[in-house]
Structure 1
């Protein structure tokens, strides 16, 4: 549960861990490095906004939705690791 959200919105364990450790901005920077040219990623409050090369913009309330979208849209991701591996590596890095 996200304590800051009204009604106690449920978030994924990955999102909860990014928030708990204060690594959301680090995840943003790491994920941006793997985006294809013409794509952009930003934080919108607690959510994530992905602008694709086509101009389409998707907003995700949870990082899990973002990771799934990046893994499914191969042309928007050019990183050597999968987006999920990038975030996983960040979360296992010592503080």
Structure 2
């Protein structure tokens, strides 16, 4: 299970989430499971995407599924991200 956080700055539609998710999924797939969170956050900001997603990443590094997509406020995203980083 890999966690990536994208910081919302406005409300976004389901279509926008799905479009951005494809771009992010492609980025993760190309870079493997060790892609750094900061790169993904920067990319998400560049394409105007804002969501938190939890990926199920199989051992062969192919992105097969995701378990959750939701919009979350920036302060909660930062809090969750800090908690995850402190567990590493």
| Fold equivalence (TM over 0.5) | no
